[in-house]
Amino acid sequence: MSIASVTAVTGVNGAQTSSKAGQGWAGMGAEDFVKLLTTQLQNQDPTDPVDNTQMLAQLAQFSSLSNLNDIKDSVSGTDKQTQTLSTIATKLDTLNSTVAQLLASQNAAAATPA
């Protein structure tokens, strides 16, 4: 089942709450999941309640997704650190070669008889 976006959620008292229209599943967070879960529980048919195994599976999937997002954020931070370290290493290489050239020119100047 594919859902492109959520435009509004009608609460128990009929009032509409705003949502993240047009963002799809990527724009949903933990708060949105809890809202959907509580709305689902409030509006389920008492004669045919939601199967506990299905609800636990949904909670497990959301937990896994949350953990994967945390890992993605950590890896993204590591990538930025790697880029910064690479830039520093390049600048240090340039500095080392400049110092080596200066030392070589000083040694050549000192070795030249006056």
**Chain mean pLDDT for the chain:** 77
35 by Cβ neighbours in 10 Å (0-12 / 13-18 / 19+) ranks as middle
Domain hosting 26: range is: 1-50
The answer on 109 and 71 residing in a single domain is yes
The answer on 73 and 99 residing in a single domain is yes
Q: Supply the pTM of this predicted model.
A: 0.40
| 15-63 confidence digits (pLDDT tens) | 555 555 555 556 677 788 788 888 888 888 778 777 788 878 888 888 8
The answer on 40 and 1 residing in a single domain is yes
The answer on 3 and 38 residing in a single domain is yes
The answer on 58 and 35 residing in a single domain is no
Domain limit, last residue, from 50, 66, 91: 50
| Residue 58, pLDDT score | 81
Which residue would you say has higher pLDDT here, 66 or 100?
Answer: 100
The answer on 71 and 35 residing in a single domain is no
* Mean pLDDT score, 97-112: 88
Domain limit, last residue, from 50, 65, 82: 50
